[in-house]
Amino acid sequence: MMAGLSGLFARLYVGLQVVLPHHGLSRLMYRLARVEWAPLRIPLTWAFIRLTGIRMAEAAEPDWRRYPHLNALFTRALRSDLRPLDLDPDSVLSPVDGTLSQIGAIERGRLIQAKGHDYALGDLLGGGGESGLQFEGGAFATLYLSPKDYHRIHMPLAGDLTEMAHLAGRLYSVNGITAELVPGLFARNERVVCRFQNPAGPLVMVLVGAIFVGGIETVWAGEVTPVSAIGSGAKAKPESEPSHQGPYLERGVEMGRFNLGSTVILLFPPGMVTWDPDLVPGSPVRMGQRIGGLAPSAHS
């Protein structure tokens, strides 16, 4: 009986998302999260901390009253001593604080989304089947950030940015319930695809948007989404337009950030990395911890 009620709730929850105006609600949240008027900002910030369980003691600025608006709290810096990078220069670092949703191999051009569900890599990258050919047989990891998590995104390995593309789409929630019930969720949501070149090979970081995620930023382009960010001065790129003007980013440095929470998907070609065997779906991760390593053949 309880399982039936749980299943009904999940279907209603996802069904409601189908009819909601995703982008309209996210634009509203974008504005609300940047209100500096104290009579609204203070109770809103206090309520958000209480509801989500944000660990303010980990923040570089632990006094929540000193943040000028809610978005500044979302994108807060952490204390410099809290996330040391794994010392092995060949280790692949977790780019975020969050939960490992899925991890494994890319097989027949598809990635696991949730138990019993997969989706096409070409759809995720926005270029059809051929866009992901170099990653066939490679490795992927999907990392979910909840609203309480640290929302800055860091480099898992060093690399030169070779291309960035903004792909328009829906803004479904990316939590576990939605991932189990919405086919091709990550390939349907709005996302920013960032391609890098490391000496050992290429890597891709896909920053996936979600409902109420008021923006995705990168350190080289600034705010990429939302496209219609009111009063933000955002320089958003049209759908799928690539940018080839990229910096070199060291392993572990910040490369972007989310507002609220969302998902990062890492992609590597075959023979480049091996995942640590103790990592399974549901494992908590912290930015800077080792989640895998460069394969010996990647140095040859």
Q: Enter the pTM of the model.
A: 0.88
Catalytic residue check, 262: yes
Q: How does pLDDT run along the chain (300 residues), one tens digit per residue? A: 333 435 777 767 566 666 666 667 667 777 888 899 999 999 999 999 999 999 999 999 999 999 999 999 999 999 999 999 999 999 999 999 999 999 999 999 999 988 778 999 999 999 765 677 899 999 999 999 998 999 999 999 999 999 999 998 887 777 777 788 778 888 988 999 999 999 999 999 999 988 766 589 999 999 887 654 433 333 334 344 455 457 999 999 999 999 776 899 999 999 999 999 999 999 999 999 999 999 987 765
DSSP state of 85: P
What is the rounded distance in angstroms from the CA atom of residue 211 to the CA atom of residue 252?
27
Catalytic residue check, 97: yes
Torsion sign (Cα): 87, 91, 92, 94: negative
Catalytic residue check, 278: no
What is the rounded distance in angstroms from the CA atom of residue 270 to the CA atom of residue 268?
7
Which of 26, 101, 173, 262 is catalytic? The answer is: 262
Which of 91, 97, 166, 173 is catalytic? The answer is: 97
With beta carbons less than 8 A apart as the criterion, state whether 219 and 268 touch. no
